[in-house]
Each structure stands twice: as C-alpha cells, then as structure tokens.
C-alpha cells in the first residue's frame, strides 16, 4: 500500500516527455510570432512617433487645443497645405512690453535629454511689410528658459525654417514657447519639434527606444494600423491610408476613437496626425525584419458602436471605393515606380517595392454584413493580385454563435487566414492550450491577431505572462495551422492609457518591457523552423499537473528548442527523452522566467522585476532530467 502511494506521488510529480527529433516536422512560418500596432494609449502620436508638439498644424476642431496663446493672435485658414489649411498669425500688440506668442504643452509635457539636439521647424512668412522675428524657447514648469534661439523671417512667401535646440541636462516636462520679437507680424504653420536622434536618424522619425523594443522582439509579422481605429466610429473616421502618405504637412488629421471610448479614461486631445502613416509602417516592417500586414476597412464602421445602416457602405457602387483603396494599397506597396501609387512610394524615398504579401480586410466584424462585403473585396484582389493572402475576421469573440458563423463563412469564401481575438482570464488561457489541436487542417489558417491574458486587476503581471507562455505552446504545437499570432495592444503611455494590459509601457523619457514582452521575445527568438512532436504517453502536454510543453527544431542554427511551463505551485521533475538524436554530450542554454509573486510586474521604477535569466549547462546524452521551479517558464536551446 505504502509503495503504491509513493509511486503515485512520484508519477504525479515526474513527467517523462518524449521529443521526436525529425528534421521534417511541419514547417513553422516565418510570420509565426509578430506584433500588432494600433494608435491606442498614445501609441503613435505622443508615443512611437517622435513628434513632441501636439496639434502642430492647428487642425484639431478646437484649433488651440494643446496651445496657450497671449497677445494678438488669430487663426487663419488659407494656409499652404490643402488638407490642413489652418495656421496662426502673430501680430504686434501695439506696445513693446505687451507680448504676442504661444506655448505648446506637448504630450503630457515635452521631455528632452542632456546634450541631445532637437530640431525645431516651422513653415512661416512675414505678414506685413516689415521683417519679422520670433524667439523660440523651451521652458520648465517654473517658466525658466532652458534653451532658446532666434529666427528671422524676411520673406512673404511660405518657407520652411529649421533650427536646433540643445538642453544641457535632462528635463522630463517642458513647454515650447514662441514670442513674436518684431513689430512686423508673422504667420506660422506646422510647428514641429523632433529629437535628431530618432530610430535610424530619420527626420519625421520614430522614438528610438520604442522602435528598438520592437526590433528586439524579432517579429515575423507586423499588423497595422489597428484594431478598432481601422473601422472608425463612423465611416468618415475610419483609417484612410491615402490620407497618411505624402508630406506630413499635408496628411489630413483624423480623430482617434480612443479619445472618447472610455469616459473614465477620457482624452479630448487625442487625434491621429498620421505623421506615422502607411509609408512609415512599411518602412518599419522592413527595418525590424517583419512581413507587413496592413488591415483596411471593409466598409463597416465599428459594429460595437453602430447598429444602423448609415454606418455601412452598401455593396455595389458605395463599396467600390473601399475595394479600390485595397487595390491601390497593394500598388503603393509593391507597384512599379511607373504606377500611380508606386511612384508616390518612390518619391517618398523607397523606389524598391515593400514586397507586401498579406492584407487584412475588416477588423472585428460579425454577422452577414461582413461576408457580403468581404466577398467582392476578395474577388477583386484575387483577380488582380492572386499572390496576396487575404485575412478575414471571425469577430471579437473566440467562441459562440457569431464566431462559428464567421469561420463557416471564411471557409466558404476560402479566406487564406482567419483572424481570432481573445482577451480572456488566466483560467481560459490555461484550459485552452489544446484549442488548436483539433482545428481543421484543410481550411483557412489561423491568425491569432489580438490576444492577451487579462487578470482581474488588468495588470501586466507575472501570472498573465505565464498563462500566455503556457497557452502559446499550443500555437507552436499547431504551427501547421496557426501561421501568425500577435499580442495586443502593443504600447501604452503611463499617463495616457485607455486599455491595459499592454506589451510595452513608457513615459516621455523611458520605456519598460513587461514580463509579457519577455514571453513574446522568447518565442520570437526561438521560433524554430520545424515542429517536433512532444508528448507524454503519446499525449501532448496541455496542463497535466500544470505542465505545458512544445518543441521545435531550428535548421538554421541546428538546434532543438524546448519550451516548457510549470504553472503549478510545486516543483516538477521532467525527464526529457530526445528520440532520434545521436548519443553525445551537448551544450545547452537554459532561459528561465519565474517569480514567486504572481502579481509582480515590471515598471518604469523597477523595469527588471522579472527578466529572463540565462544559464549554461551540459546534458549527458539523449535524455536528461530537469527540475522546474513552481510558476516558471523555460526555454532550452540544445546545440546539435
């Protein structure tokens, strides 16, 4: 009897996991682990897009939102840029002691770094016969001048002027102030301030630390520009990619639905300048080595927000411009420089095609309205560009009637991939690791386009990251059917968020990678090239005793990569048996993410609360034993 109990205990805690080393296991797509970008939580303006001035073209409906004005100043609307016609006129007050000018508050302030250069630029002309001049200052919260420069404007033609500002130390929260310093008046348009040190040193560039964080994930796919903002609250406010290309000065401002979606996180100054537009998205995809995956409106405004017909483009003449937008986008990305949109891409600085292979049509759509619209899109795209893979939606929920109907329709229409979304609690993730084991292998492939584990407190805590790590073994085990997955949302400003959890948090100075980020990174860096069957007693490990496991082979590195999560509260002993390997001692790199506190998170104050820990070890031959601490996730890279 005692022997029986002891045997039971040992079997409960020791798992014999067999990994079949077959070089020809099903192929893992290069697009497998990726990123999903949306301008939510000040992810673009005020975030990744490095512009420091808010409402730089005075196009917000309240033209001076973000600005404080003083003296004699007025808004005019016959400026040099057709899509953004507003500008300001500064005039002499009539007395030298009474000043005219304006101040910009930036996005939650303007942060600058010691000895870095900041490029101030403005379109300007004098507005009277006399020459005009202004003084540009960065001021702190007590109105002390940190650095300043003078600008003379002698021409009555619109021209762009540039100068550099260089602070002598770090300041987290400044304002930009402009004084009129001449008796002659001046017109100012598109007032901009950028760090010179952007990602790859580009003008109109991206914030370096944030772009670097994306690069460091090694993403295979890059979905943009959202989410709900693709659809718009109404059709007019959907994301229109054509408004996001060409010179930044002429990109038409759009509202951002995340401005007002949650009244408890209400941000009336949240708009989309489109300074980070489709050209920059394609360029960033190229920079980070990810396949670009643009998503366009299917002619349905957000279905959550709208029930009436005015929010839909009717199939036929109404929908045609939407379909044309999709065809033109492919031309913009891939077309020859002699084509209309290929030429625009080339003039923007990229004559080579971006080699786009995927397009998403619609975001979270459901019901018959969606397939009715998707069908003509698919016909038109496949007729002109049969090589482009089309991604359809299965709606906002990963189960239920609408989801089933969505999948059925995607199969009928022969969509190449189907986008699934799930923001669910830890239990859902832990019990769902076998979700894809029984998916139809002959139908469309899966794109888990938005997912994140939401603990009750909606923190990016260790518990949520561990559940995602465990669940993702199910992506890997089913890599023949799951071709892409992207965590969502990507970015959040600590002062300006609307939605959490999020992968990367930042303020104006610094950024922090969440524990969830490190899970994504471990998968991204260890994606492998071929699946390896991983089992215990011929069954996949989908939570037995809290253990989740999967494995891949990487033919480029000639490595076996094992991933395993112990979600239980106890140590688990694992006997790995590597079937099909020659018996020899091998070097192994073991990477661990673990924490005794499930609620711990990485913060700006403590960015390394939980980070991957790397150890080197040796294994004696084709089998080895490891002990997995409670609540831990591990990756073993075994050199062959």
Catalytic site residues? 364
The radius of gyration of the chain's CA atoms, rounded to the nearest angstrom, is 27
Judged by CB under 6 A, does residue 402 bind ligand AHR?
no
How many Cβ atoms are within 10 Å of 148's Cβ, its own excluded?
13
Nearer to ligand AHR, 239 or 636 (CB): 239
Measured from the CB of residue 447, what is the shortest distance to ligand AHR in angstroms? Answer: 13
Among 232, 489, 524, 546, binds ligand AHR (CB under 6 A): 489
Nearer to ligand AHR, 232 or 396 (CB): 396
Range in contact with ligand AHR (rule: CB under 6 A) among 139-147, 225-233, 412-420, 594-602: 225-233
Measured from the CB of residue 421, what is the shortest distance to ligand AHR in angstroms? Answer: 6
Query: Are the C-beta atoms of residues 293 and 329 closer than 8 Å to each other?
Result: no
Q: Which DSSP state fits 529?
A: S
Measured from the CB of residue 488, what is the shortest distance to ligand AHR in angstroms? Answer: 4
Distance, in Å, from the CA atom of 392 to the CA atom of 403, rounded to the nearest integer, reads 12
Judged by CB under 6 A, does residue 396 bind ligand AHR?
yes
Distance, in Å, from the CA atom of 238 to the CA atom of 255, rounded to the nearest integer, reads 9
Sign for the CA dihedral angle at 91, 96, 100, 101 comes to: positive
Nearer to ligand AHR, 365 or 478 (CB): 365
Q: What is the largest CA-CA distance in the chain?
A: 105
Judged by CB under 6 A, does residue 184 bind ligand AHR?
no
Measured from the CB of residue 255, what is the shortest distance to ligand AHR in angstroms? Answer: 15
φ, ψ dihedrals at 370, nearest 5°: -75, -60
Distance, in Å, from the CA atom of 613 to the CA atom of 594, rounded to the nearest integer, reads 9
For the chain, the straight-line distance linking the first and the last C-alpha, in angstroms and rounded, comes to 44
* 395: Cα separation from own chain's centroid: 20
- Binding residues among 12-31 for ligand AHR as defined by CB under 6 A: none
Count of positions (residues) in the chain? 640
Contact track, ligand AHR, 536-575, x by CB under 6 A: ----------------------------------------
Distance, in Å, from the CA atom of 468 to the CA atom of 451, rounded to the nearest integer, reads 9
Task: Name residues whose C-beta falls within 8 Å of residue 222's C-beta, 6 or more positions apart in sequence.
Answer: 34, 35, 37, 281, 284, 285, 288, 290, 291, 292, 293
Judged by CB under 6 A, does residue 450 bind ligand AHR?
yes
Range in contact with ligand AHR (rule: CB under 6 A) among 157-165, 226-234, 469-477, 560-568: 226-234
Range in contact with ligand AHR (rule: CB under 6 A) among 49-57, 221-229, 458-466, 571-579: 221-229
- From the list 167, 48, 170, the residue with the least C-alpha distance to 503 is 48
Nearer to ligand AHR, 227 or 524 (CB): 227
Distance, in Å, from the CA atom of 548 to the CA atom of 542, rounded to the nearest integer, reads 5
H/E/C letters for each residue in 223-262? Answer: EECCCHHHHCCCHHHCCCHHHHCCCHHHCCCEECHHHCCC
- Binding residues among 498-517 for ligand AHR as defined by CB under 6 A: 499
Rounded alpha-carbon distances, angstroms, from residue 118 to 72, 121, 275, 571: 28, 10, 17, 53
Judged by CB under 6 A, does residue 228 bind ligand AHR?
yes
Measured from the CB of residue 35, what is the shortest distance to ligand AHR in angstroms? Answer: 12
Judged by CB under 6 A, does residue 225 bind ligand AHR?
no
Range in contact with ligand AHR (rule: CB under 6 A) among 154-162, 194-202, 224-232, 572-580: 224-232
Measured from the CB of residue 231, what is the shortest distance to ligand AHR in angstroms? Answer: 8
Nearer to ligand AHR, 278 or 499 (CB): 499
Range in contact with ligand AHR (rule: CB under 6 A) among 200-208, 223-231, 261-269, 312-320: 223-231
Residue number, nearest CB to ligand AHR: 227
Judged by CB under 6 A, does residue 227 bind ligand AHR?
yes
Q: Which two tokens stand for residue 182?
A: 């001449």
Nearer to ligand AHR, 139 or 519 (CB): 519
Helix (H) or strand (E) segment spanning residue 20: strand 14-20
- From the list 399, 440, 390, 445, the residue with the least C-alpha distance to 421 is 399
Nearer to ligand AHR, 280 or 450 (CB): 450
Measured from the CB of residue 250, what is the shortest distance to ligand AHR in angstroms? Answer: 27
Measured from the CB of residue 229, what is the shortest distance to ligand AHR in angstroms? Answer: 7
Measured from the CB of residue 517, what is the shortest distance to ligand AHR in angstroms? Answer: 16
Rounded alpha-carbon distances, angstroms, from residue 265 to 35, 54, 270: 24, 19, 11
Query: Are the C-beta atoms of residues 527 and 552 closer than 8 Å to each other?
Result: yes
Contact track, ligand AHR, 342-381, x by CB under 6 A: ---------------------xx-----------------
Long-range contacts of 434-439, Cβ-Cβ distance < 8 Å, separation of 24 or more = 434/474, 434/540, 434/542, 435/398, 435/474, 436/474, 436/475, 436/477, 436/478, 436/481, 436/482, 437/474, 437/477, 437/478, 437/540, 437/542, 439/478, 439/481
Nearer to ligand AHR, 327 or 490 (CB): 490
Measured from the CB of residue 450, what is the shortest distance to ligand AHR in angstroms? Answer: 5
Among 38, 103, 189, 280, binds ligand AHR (CB under 6 A): 38
Nearer to ligand AHR, 90 or 490 (CB): 490
Distance, in Å, from the CA atom of 360 to the CA atom of 364, rounded to the nearest integer, reads 11
Site size toward ligand AHR (CB under 6 A) is 12
Nearer to ligand AHR, 249 or 364 (CB): 364
Contact track, ligand AHR, 40-79, x by CB under 6 A: x---------------------------------------
Measured from the CB of residue 547, what is the shortest distance to ligand AHR in angstroms? Answer: 30
Beta-sheet pairing, 504-506 with 491-493: parallel
Nearer to ligand AHR, 239 or 341 (CB): 239
- From the list 420, 488, 430, the residue with the least C-alpha distance to 460 is 488
Range in contact with ligand AHR (rule: CB under 6 A) among 111-119, 132-140, 189-197, 222-230: 222-230
Measured from the CB of residue 36, what is the shortest distance to ligand AHR in angstroms? Answer: 7
Distance, in Å, from the CA atom of 397 to the CA atom of 392, rounded to the nearest integer, reads 14
Nearer to ligand AHR, 298 or 565 (CB): 298
Binding site for ligand AHR (CB under 6 A): 38, 40, 226-228, 363-364, 396, 450, 488-489, 499
């Amino acid at each position: 009897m005692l022997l029986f109990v002891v045997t039971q205990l040992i079997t409960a805690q020791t798992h014999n996991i067999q990994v079949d080393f077959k070089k020809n296991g099903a192929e893992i797509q290069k697009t497998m682990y990726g990123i999903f970008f949306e301008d939510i939580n000040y992810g673009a303006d005020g975030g990744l897009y490095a512009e420091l001035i808010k409402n730089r073209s005075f196009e917000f409906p309240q033209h001076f939102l973000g600005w404080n004005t003083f003296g004699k100043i007025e808004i005019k609307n016959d400026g040099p840029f057709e899509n953004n016609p507003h500008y300001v006129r500064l005039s002499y007050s009539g007395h030298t002691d009474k000043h005219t000018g304006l101040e910009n508050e930036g996005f939650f302030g303007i942060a600058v770094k010691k000895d870095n250069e900041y490029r101030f630029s403005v379109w300007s002309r004098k507005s009277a016969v006399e020459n005009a001049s202004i003084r540009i200052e960065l001021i702190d919260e007590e109105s002390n001048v940190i650095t300043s420069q003078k600008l003379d404007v002698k021409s009555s033609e619109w021209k762009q002027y540039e100068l550099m500002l260089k602070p002598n130390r770090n300041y987290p929260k400044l304002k930009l102030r402009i004084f009129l310093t001449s008796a002659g008046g001046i017109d100012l348009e598109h007032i901009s301030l950028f760090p010179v040190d952007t990602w790859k040193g580009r003008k109109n560039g991206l914030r370096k630390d944030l772009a670097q964080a994306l690069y460091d994930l090694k993403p295979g796919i890059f979905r943009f520009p959202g989410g709900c903002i693709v659809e718009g609250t109404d059709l007019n406010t959907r994301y229109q990619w054509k408004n996001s290309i060409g010179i930044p000065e002429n990109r038409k401002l759009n509202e951002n639905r995340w401005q007002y979606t949650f009244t408890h996180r209400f941000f009336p100054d949240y708009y989309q300048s489109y300074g980070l537009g489709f050209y920059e998205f394609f360029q960033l995809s190229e920079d980070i080595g990810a396949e670009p995956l643009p998503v366009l409106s299917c002619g349905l405004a957000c279905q959550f927000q709208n029930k009436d017909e005015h929010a839909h483009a009717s199939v036929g003449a109404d929908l045609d411009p939407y379909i044309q937008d999709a065809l033109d986008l492919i031309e913009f990305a891939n077309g020859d420089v002699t084509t209309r949109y290929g030429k625009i891409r080339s003039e923007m600085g990229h004559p080579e095609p971006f080699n786009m292979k995927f397009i998403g049509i619609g975001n979270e759509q459901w019901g018959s309205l969606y397939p009715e619209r998707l069908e003509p899109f698919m016909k038109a795209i496949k007729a002109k560009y049969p090589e482009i893979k089309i991604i359809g939606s299965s709606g906002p929920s990963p189960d239920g009637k609408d989801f089933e109907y969505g999948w059925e329709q995607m199969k009928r229409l022969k969509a190449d991939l189907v986008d699934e979304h799930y923001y669910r609690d830890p239990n859902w993730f832990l019990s769902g690791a076998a979700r894809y084991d029984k998916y139809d292998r002959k139908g469309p492939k899966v794109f888990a386009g938005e997912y994140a584990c939401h603990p009750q407190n909606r923190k990016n805590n260790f518990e949520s990251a561990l559940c995602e790590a465990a669940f993702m073994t199910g992506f890997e085990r089913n890599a023949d059917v799951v071709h892409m997955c992207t965590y969502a949302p990507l970015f959040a400003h600590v002062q300006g968020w609307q939605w959490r959890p999020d992968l990367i948090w930042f303020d104006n100075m610094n950024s922090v990678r969440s524990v969830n980020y490190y899970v994504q990174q471990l998968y991204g860096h260890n994606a492998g090239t071929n699946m390896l069957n991983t089992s215990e007693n011929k069954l996949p490990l989908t939570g037995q005793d809290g253990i989740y496991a999967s494995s891949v082979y990487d033919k480029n590195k000639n490595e076996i990569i094992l991933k395993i999560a112990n979600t239980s509260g106890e140590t688990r002993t694992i006997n790995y048996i590597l079937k099909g390997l020659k018996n020899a001692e091998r070097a192994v790199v073991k990477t661990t993410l673990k924490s005794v506190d499930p609620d711990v998170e990485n913060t700006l104050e403590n960015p390394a609360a939980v980070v991957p820990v790397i150890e080197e070890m040796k294994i004696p031959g084709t089998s080895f034993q490891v002990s997995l601490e409670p609540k831990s996730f591990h990756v073993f890279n075994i050199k062959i």
